[in-house]
Structure formats: C-alpha cells, structure tokens
Structure 1
Amino acid sequence: MHVHILFGASGTASLKYMFRETDSSESNQVIGFHDNLVVGPLWNLHKPEGLVNRQNWLIQHLPIVLGDDFFEKSYQEEFMKCVHQVNSVTEETPITIWCTNNASEQAGIRLIMYLLRDQSNPIRILNVKPIFDRLFNTGKYKMDIRSVGEVNPDKLELIYKEAACIDPVNETEKISLMKEWGVLSSSKELLRIWWKNQIKEVPVDYFDDYLYEIVLKVHGKRKQKEFIRAPRIIGEAIGYLNHDVGDQFLEYRLRELVSQGLLEVEGSFKGMPFYSVRAK
C-alpha cells in the first residue's frame, strides 16, 4: 500500500483516475482534501473549534455556486474524514504528498506533517512543477502550472515515474514543517500567497486593486462604460493571475468592490451568471 495525499478537488480526481488507469502491482490510496487553504482562517484548523470557525467563514463569505452547498452540508464531514484517513495510515506505509508552488498545497504539507507528528512513516514531497517544467516546458510555448489539478492524468503518470528517486523528508525537515504549521494555525489572517519559496500572509483585500484593473481593462477606451458579465471578469482575473485563489474568492472580492461603491451592479447576486458590473 502507498498513500497519496493532496489538497484540491480537481487534483484529487486526476490522481485517482491516473491510478485507476495505470497498470501497477502497487496498491495506491488517494486522500484528497477538497479545500483551498489559500483563503479563509487556518486558526486551530487541526482542532474541532478551528474547523468550525473556518467552515463558518467560508459559508459567510464565499458565494455559493448554483446547486452546490458543499460548505454548508459536507465540508466539515469531508475534512474530518480525510483527517481520520491520514491518522489511520499504519506506521510502515509510505506516503507521498503531492504539491506545486501554491500556498494551499504548501500549507497542506505543513498540516499533514503536524497530523503525522508522532508517526515514523517515510514521507515524500512530490512537487509536480519542476518535473513538469523539465519534461513538458521544452518548446516555445510554456505552461506555468499553478496546482496539481492543472496537470492531466497522462502527464501526472509520467511525473510520478520521474519522481521515483525522491528521498523521504528527514526528521529535521519534518520538524521545521511542523513548526511552520504552528505559525499558520496561530494566525488570524485570511489570505495567503506563495512568495519567494515561502507562504506569505497578506491582507484579505490584496487582490482588490488587481480585480478593479481587470474591469477597467475590459472597458478599454470606450467613453460609455457598458456592464460586463461577472463570469468574464472572474475568468480574465484567473487567467492572468499567478496565484491559485479560486473563482469563489475572487467573486467575493468583486462583490466587495460593489459594496465599497467602486463598481455598479446590474442583475442579481443569486449566482455569478446573473449579474454584471461596471466601473463608476
């Protein structure tokens, strides 16, 4: 048995598909946290009160995708299920934590190290990005991947084979990562980015100016500013952004720009497809 752990719904689905389609004598279990640790409080997340606090913040601030009430009905149960699976891994079982250079997956590494603090499993950290760059970013057009979920299963399989020689983390590295989780889980900050090879906490309005500039960019030089569909703004913002913050967080901040009086709105906030915005 080999256990694989990662953060993000898309990456989890890709990894599970990869192992289903791969001929291997090894049995693989994928533990996937459907969460983005870039946004929302991480305070005491390894404890019940911290998980409830995070869930409440996500429910109150992130817009609900139509037909998806995951945060309200399933989030806490699914998170605790994953924690239980991690804690149930037997001592001798090798573990691989999958990541790229984003704050969610990197924070996830630190949380997992804390959860496994009393176990001696061989734990490898497989950073997909440098291997992806070496194998696939060799031509004129290059893809700057921001999460494991942006890599298709066929490429993940090749990356996994290339990573066979990665050594497990040593005790010093494990302790250092655990201490970093201690810092993260003691903070009340609500937004994180990956900056100069470390997790950096930033104000929750860190991307507001960027979002506003996207609105102005779409307006262009037209004298008459027309209303722009919210999905277009969010889509362009995600496309140019190097950080994997997620569309729900960006929509939350777009609505905040409306609340602050910087943008006008037309339509209903019942869902992203139902409203448009323009700069005042």
Structure 2
Amino acid sequence: MIHIVFGAATAGSLKQAFCEMKQDQVNDIIAFHDIYSIGPLLHLHEHEGQENRIEWLRNVISNEFGHFDDMVTDQHRMLQQIKDIKDGTRILIWTGSNAHEQIGLRYAIYLLKEKNIELSLINTTTAFDQLFNTNTRRMDIRHAGEITTEKLKVLYKSKEHMHSVTKEERAQFLIEWLSFAKENHTLRIWQKGQTISVPEDEFDAYLVKMAKRLHQSHPEEEYIVTPRLIGEVLGHLEQYIDDDFIEYRLKTLIDQGIFDMIGRRTSMRYYSIKLTEFGQNFKKWVCCREYEDHPFVKIEGDYGYEPFHCGHCQCHLEKDDVPISDTLFSKIWNWNIQYGRWFDEETDELVLNGADMEKKFNQEGERITEEVKRALSPAFQIEYSPSEYTQYFI
C-alpha cells in the first residue's frame, strides 16, 4: 500500500510509526511537501501553474538552511512518484479537517485521475476525535502533523476509520479541485466544514492584536523578538497557517508603517519588532469580516479567559472587543471564574451536587447574557452557550 500525506511532519511521524510496527511500508510514503492553505493554486496541475506557485512561495518561505530549495526538490520528486504509481496499487490518503489537507486531498486525486487504483482515505481529525477525545479531556488537532507517532499507530490499526472512495466521490473531488485551480487567491481557511478563500490580509488585525497583548504583558521590553510574536499568533489561531506566511504578513505590515523593527530581516531570529504609534491605532476588524459586518458574541464559560467567542469564526474575543461597562464585565468575570467547579480533574468525576452546580451556573449565565443584550442590542447579536458537561455523567 502507498500512503499519501501532506507535510514533512506527518511523513516523518508515519514513517517512524511503521518502523516501530515493523511494517515493510517505510518507503511507501509519498509526501506533498507544501502547505496548500497559502499560495496560488491557479492551474497547479499544469507545469506553468507549478512554476508560478514556486515563484510566489520564493518570496514567502525562508531559505535559511536550504529549506525552500529542499521543498522545491521534494515537489519534483513527489510528482515523479505519482507518475510512477502502477495500476492496481492500493493507496491510502491521510487527510484532515483543515484547508491545507482538504485541498491536498483533491489535488492528489486529480493527479491520480488516470490511474486504475484502489483508493481509500482516512480523516485524521475525525478519527482522532473518536479514538482519543473524551467528554472531559480533549485535544483539537489542526492537521495530521500534530499527531504523535504512538497515536498514528492506533489510527492505522483502527481500520474502521478508513473509507473506500467510490467512483462518484472521485469524480466529485476532481470537480472540486478544478474549481480551486481556477482561483488565484493566496489564503484559504477552514470554516463551517468547508474550505473558503479569504483575502491575504485576513489575519493582519489578529497579528496586531497579539502584538498589543505582548507589549502589555512585557512593558519593560520596547521590542518583541519576532519568533515570540509569530508563535503567539500561531498558538491562538485555529487555522493551520505556516509560520513563514505569518512572517510574510508581518514584513508587509512593517513596510506599511504598522510595525517598527531593529535588526536584519534575513531571518526571523535576527530582528525584533514593536508597534508604531500608527500601528497602535490599527484595527481592520476584530477577528473576521463577518464579525465586522454583523457583531455576534457567544457567552460561554471558560477556564482563565474572558468568556467571549465570535459566533461566526469561534475565535476568542477579549474585553476590549465587547464594549460593555467595567461594572458589567466585573459581574461577568465573577460568574466565569466559577466555571468547571462541578468537576474534579484529579478523579475525572463530578463533585457532590455537581449537576446542580452546573445548572445554577447556566441559570446565572443566561441572566447575565440578558444584561449584555440590553447593553449592546441591537448593534450586537448576543447568545449564551450553556455548559453541558454533567449530562455525560448522568
């Protein structure tokens, strides 16, 4: 069997998993060493489109330690490996619920369209959730490269998560790929179960927002080391976006006067940044364009953070994003710190009267939500999202 994966991290972890399982498939992994959530896809299945994408990536991806050159070489190797696949071969494509791997899936199936093969796929996001997440403990993975070798072994042995792709499904994937290959957008995200194209500056406001947070938490440091800012952004984004792309946008904002810098831009390790006075007032939107056009706040209990989330993209919102009085916010915060007290983390069990505690928490949450509605309606849509932990224990 040949395994197709999207990214060097996934390929390395899967290869290690096969070695530890003493499988003879170590050399049967074809890796698409690219990230398809960024960069142009226009005519990518043709030579001209591939060259155009490489030229765009050349301005985005660092070539420190030959990283970019290696990626180009790996791309050429991958295309040759696909051509060399023989009819009758069994192929398993490892994908996930994110823009990068969903586009990679469709691209791979298009490249295989002339092959008479037995094709299956595994959605690692769904499989991981069903195999490892529980009612009380969960880990949300953004792409297969975040899955450990040990868990990949479990996924591979769990055959019920492998889906045989029908002729009709292959035909639909081809149509969807050709639709992507007609676009010249350079950024795509996963939203509401599908891949959508968004403007290249989609995360600029979030980048500025994270810089403000770092400035506030480290007031003694005039400049922020660039890797710290990029790590902060990537750590909070629910999307799988490459760090090189975030740095590319940071450099664009430096050129636009949003950030000032010291050092050399040859590598993110060699320069530091700070928001300019102009940058301090920069705000295109809070988290997504939908929120800007139609502010939608979900109030839900959370551990240690403001209990606000965007009702459109689910991003975490901060106090400054929800224009309520300090008095009302204090009331909300005092309510929020009670979240989860009905659950004993050491025993994974409810505490005595835990169900009643959660019920009272939700009742108070609904009452507070009504106060927020009165303060912000009709400009904001406000909803309460109740805690539902205890229902799994009763």
TM-score normalized with structure 2 length: 0.66
**CA apart distance, 1:49:** 0.9
Alignment match, 2:34: 35
Summarize the Cα distance change of 1:273–1:50 in structure 2 as closer, same or farther, 3 Å threshold.
Answer: same
- Give the Cα separation in 1 of the matches to 2:176 and 2:2: 23
Coordinate RMSD, CA, aligned:
1.9
**Alpha carbons 2:189, 2:195 under 8 Å: kept:** yes
**Gap change, CA 1:116 and 1:222, over 3 Å in 2:** closer
Whether 2:156 is the aligned partner of 1:160: answer yes
Corresponding residue number in structure 2 for 1:8: 7
Letter in 2 for 1:50: G
Residue 271 of structure 1: CA displacement?
A: 1.1
Whether contact under 8 Å (1:126, 1:163) holds in the other structure is no
Q: For residue 207 of structure 1, what is the aligned residue in structure 2?
A: 203
| Whole-angstrom CA distance in 1 between matches of 2:25 and 2:70 | 31
Q: Give the counterpart of 1:257 among 240, 247, 253.
A: 253
Matched, 1:148 2:147: no
Instruction: Evaluate the alpha carbon distance shift between residue 199 and residue 129 of structure 1 in structure 2; reply closer, same or farther with a 3 A threshold.
Output: same
Confirm or deny that 1:70 pairs with 2:67: yes
CA shift for structure 1 position 257: 1.1
Q: Which residue of 2 aligns with 1:20?
A: 19
The 1:87–1:222 alpha-carbon spacing in structure 2 relative to 1, beyond 3 Å, is closer
Which residue number in structure 1 is paired with residue 273 of structure 2?
Answer: 277
* 1:4–1:28 contact (8 Å) kept in structure 2: no
Matches within 5 A, 1:86-165: 86-138=82-134, 140-164=136-160
Residue 194 of structure 1 and its aligned partner are, at CA, apart by 1.3
Aligned position for 1:239: 235
Offset of residue 143 of structure 1? 1.4
Which string of whole-angstrom CA distances, capped at 9 and with x for unpartnered residues, describes residues 204-248 of structure 1? Answer: 111111101000111127877721110110011111011111111
**2:165 is the alignment partner of 1:177:** no
What is the SS of the residue equivalent to 2:261? strand
Report the structure number with the largest CA radius of gyration. 2
Q: Equivalent pairs: percent with the same residue?
A: 36
CA distance in 2, matches of 1:48, 1:74: 19
Q: Distance in 2 between matches of 1:165 and 1:203?
A: 34
Mapped partners of 2:235, 2:123: distance in 1 = 22
How many pairs were matched up?
276
Deviation of the 1:38 alpha carbon: 0.9
- Correspondence 1:218 to 2:217: no
Task: Letter of the 2:67 partner, please give it.
Answer: F
1:65 to 1:85, Cα distance in 2 relative to 1, 3 A: closer
Structure 1 partner of 2:264: 268
Report the CA distance between 1:164 and its aligned residue: 4.5
Return the structure number with greater relative CO, CA threshold 8 A, min gap 6.
1
The alignment partner of 1:41 has SS state of coil
**Distance change (3 Å), C-alpha of 1:91 and 1:14:** same
Displacement, 1:267? 1.4
Mark the runs of 5 or more structure 1 residues left unpaired by the alignment. none
Of 167, 174, 190, 1:194 maps to 190
1:139 is displaced (CA, Å) by 6.0
Judge conservation of contact 2:2–2:28 (CA < 8 Å) in 1.
yes
1:142 CA drift (Å): 2.1
Contact (CA 8 Å) 1:131, 1:159: kept in 2 or not?
yes
Structure-1-length-normalised TM-score: 0.92
Contact preservation (8 Å) 1:6, 1:98 = yes
1:88 aligned partner, one-letter code: D
Letter in 1 for 2:154: L
Partner of 2:52: 53
Instruction: Give the deviation of 1:165 after TM superposition.
Output: 5.8
Name the SS of the counterpart of 1:167 in structure 2. Answer: strand
Structure 2: how far apart are the matches of 1:46 and 1:223?
49
